[in-house]
Chain A
Amino acid sequence: MDFGSINPVLLVASVMVSATPILLAAIGETVVERSGVLNLGVEGMMITGAVVGFAVAVNTGDPASGFAAAALASAVLSLTFGVLTQIFLSNQVATGLGLTLVGLGLSSLIGKPYEGMKSPTLPKLDLGPLSDLPVVGRMLFSHDIMVYLALGIVALVWMFLKFTRAGLILRAAGENHDAAHALGYHVVRVRLMAIFFGGACAGLGGAYLSLVRVPQWTEGMTAGAGWIALAIVVFASWRPWRVLVGAYLFGGVTVLQLNLQAAGADVPVALLSASPYLVTILVLVIISARGAHAAPGSLGRPFHASQ
């Protein structure tokens, strides 16, 4: 075994990269769940984003258009979930599962011709003197723009929920939709917008996988990242900054196990490759055992404005 081959600077740098897709998906889902909707279709939206982003980037040669198209495609897909659950009042759990299955099917259909291709990838940002700083420069300040954009979205979501009136209304809808309705707020409209935003974020996360992290298209490439994002929202007790912590922790586990595999650590490969999922289970169990529940009051409950 050779731990010397693991470079801590590169390790931190790659944690930031590997956490970004999950961070994006999880922060979007946080907003969705704070509005009172449980969308279990994150995996399906991510993989749709991954394939659409990849296809558009390959065809246009421009990764930025890829990201934009991915966000749009996943957001539109999430609206099918929104319409079904919010207007047709279908069961959110079943519909979310359906969304995942549809997304997986749709993505492999779209992605077939793109298997084995290479896409243009995002350039690393040159942050001038910051990037030139010793150690820290390579660790924190020489990533592509999406890494920072993801952090920016977390900050914006935090400010939105905490300081803006729209954020207050969104939380109100999630906390008690009957009361929000009685005060005259448009619960369904608020939730549809939240679902749309969540879809766009999941799409960006998926596209980051196929355009930067891997970077190529393979069927089923999200490999449960969307589900892990859902777990991180629970782990974070629905708070944006804790989502960041959760995503980076998870990114850390992923990178570490890959590094250990590469370093030929004396641990069964199956255990290493299952470790991100095992860690997620462990975290979920610890969180629930501590009994720290801060779930929005109306989460997952259907809302119908009757009389």
Chain B
Amino acid sequence: MGHHLLSLRGLTKAYPGVVANDDVSFDVAEGEIHALLGENGAGKSTLVKAIYGLVTPDAGEMEFAGRRFAPAEPSDARRAGVAMVFQHFSLFNALSVAENVALGMETPPRTRDLARRIRDVSEEYGLPLDPYRTVGTLSAGERQRVEIVRCLLQEPRLLIMDEPTSVLTPQEVEILFATLRQLREEGRSILYISHKLDEIRALCDTATILRLGRRVATCTPAERSSRELAEMMVGASFATPEPRGAAPGEIALEVAGLSLPAPGAFGTPLREVGFDLRKGEVLGIGGVAGNGQDELLAALSGERPAPRGTIWLSGRDISRLGPMARRDSGLLSGPEERLGHAAAPEMSLTENAVLTAARRERLVRGGFIDWDAAERFARRIVDRFDVRTPGTDTAARALSGGNLQKYVIGREILQRPEVLVVNQPTWGVDAAAAAAIRQALLDLAAKGTAILVISQDLDELMQISDRFAALNEGRLSPARPVAELTLERIGLMMGGAHDMEVAHAEA
């Protein structure tokens, strides 16, 4: 490891009501993989946006390769040799791979030359790509390759990666890590943002830990245990969900041969999905983003009617029923997207209570809404799930992600469902709130509710599920008891290995 490539001194950035970064200083050496570790809301994103020129810090200085560095916009940063792979928000679905790459470069060559260079670079680093494909048709892993190749073509000295593995299967993660180590050998530096401790311990040379906008520590992650890192990151030890002992009961929800065409140009069709779910049981469904999770939730919630005879609730065919009728018969659901899907952003919490609880909680009588009853129900959710809000007349969009998530999950739980289906119940939620939501789900299961958790967070699924299945390109693998699973087998399931049965039999 050589000199410092990037130095931050006293970087501060405040937004109204929040100090995103408070006097942050650290150095990234040449040829090292430097982790930036912290919870959601710890200020990681704001910090890297400042390095990439998307945000102007209020105070503090940066130095890059021995020179003062204050990029006014991303092109300044790119010219200096900084490249960034975004977590989301930076690809254009309707444009080709080559066009997407060109947009991330300062002076792209002509299309034909660019296409050749994309092929060369992608093969050199083991990330094959077709430059003329439309990005919207690529898998999540391939889309990330587009971003990485886009960065590599600029020969960056510093590569920033924001949560790169959240969209990858374990096997794809290995490929990515190999690429990153290859880049390190070439003397490039990588600033690697994550909250996944095992990854960081396996990959990174140094880690800087942020909490609530401040730098807590800089250390060598391989020398620390995951537990130590977690405590530095969270600032306290937090409760892990209590295991349950209840034995699953009779079948509550049965899905068989469920196929649905893709809802739009870039959606995923469901292909012969089948599973059963017992009372008191938690079934976890994993898989890389974009493999049919949203589509499965929409089919189960009733937003998209399913073919007759594919979805059975306690022995009754509910395939053709709409969302309201399904709620009436006890099947409740919580979609991934909080704002705009599970909740209406401009409406108050009270109004959002009416959204799904109108009939089960008798908030509507004779077509007229009983606003007092709705307010009481909203207040119960707020109290029971510790939702931090000025009041129930606050607009949903004014709540933080974690608080709104507690609210929308709480809204379904308090309606005492027979079956509850949730997609990404703790996505983007801080650790304490996530733990609370998981515990609430387990408590509900203990009372006999059948729960289906769709999630991209494998740790979460391993923690709370009894059985596990994986979605791949709209197909669902057979469910396996969690106790029998290894990481490798999960990876195979997520990657769509259809010989699972055989592999299992041989094992």
Contacts and interface: CB of A to CB of B under 8 A. Distances in A.
In the complex, A touching B (Cβ < 8 A):
yes
Interface of A: 165, 168-169, 171-172, 175-176, 178-185, 293-294, 296-297, 307
B15 A165 contact: no
Interface in B215-242: none
Given A184-B54, A184-B73, A168 B99 contact: yes
B46 A307 contact: yes
B55 A183 contact: no
A166 to B, nearest CB: 12
Given A175-B95, A307-B15, A182 B103 contact: no
Interface stretch (B84-92, B245-253, B422-430, B493-501): B84-92
Interface residues of B, number: 24
B339 to A, nearest CB: 14
Nearest to B136: A297
A296 B86 CA distance: 22
Contact of B89 (A182, A185, A294, A297): A182
Please provide the 3 A-B residue pairs with the shortest distance between their CB atoms, ordered closest to farther. A184-B74, A175-B92, A179-B90
B93 A297 contact: yes
Contacts of B78: 184
Interface in B33-66: 46, 53-55
Given A165-B108, A171-B95, A172-B95, A182 B102 contact: no
Given A165-B102, A168-B103, A307-B15, A179 B55 contact: no
A176 B91 contact: yes
A307 B89 CA distance: 13
B355 to A, nearest CB: 23
A2 B95 CA distance: 52
A176 B95 CA distance: 10
B113 to A, nearest CB: 14
Contacts, number: 56
Contacts of A181: 54
A176 B93 contact: yes
A178 B55 CA distance: 14
B132 to A, nearest CB: 14
Interface string B250-282: 000000000000000100000000000000000
A186 to B, nearest CB: 8
A179 B91 contact: yes
Contacts of B93: 175-176, 297
A304 to B, nearest CB: 13
B90 A182 contact: yes
18 contacts: A168-B95, A168-B99, A168-B102, A168-B103, A171-B95, A172-B92, A175-B93, A176-B91, A179-B90, A179-B92, A181-B54, A182-B86, A183-B74, A184-B54, A184-B73, A294-B94, A297-B92, A307-B55
Given A168-B99, A169-B103, A179-B89, A184 B94 contact: no
B75 interface: yes
Nearest to B265: A293
A183 B95 contact: no
B104 interface: yes
Contact of A297 (B53, B94, B99): B94
B53 to A, nearest CB: 7
B107 to A, nearest CB: 9
A184 B53 contact: yes
A24 to B, nearest CB: 26
A189 to B, nearest CB: 12
A304 B417 CA distance: 39
Contacts of A297: 92-94
A183 B74 CA distance: 6
A287 to B, nearest CB: 16
B137 to A, nearest CB: 14
Nearest to B78: A184
B89 A178 contact: yes
B94 to A, nearest CB: 5
Nearest to A307: B15
A119 to B, nearest CB: 44
A95 to B, nearest CB: 19
A165 B105 CA distance: 11
Contact of A172 (B20, B74, B89, B103): B103
A108 B78 CA distance: 52
A271 to B, nearest CB: 38
Contacts of B74: 182-184
A294 B266 CA distance: 12
B181 to A, nearest CB: 27
Given A172-B92, A183-B104, A307-B55, 5 more contacts: A165-B108, A182-B90, A185-B103, A297-B92, A297-B94
A91 B265 CA distance: 27
Contacts of B90: 179, 182-183
Contacts of A293: 265
Contacts of A169: 103
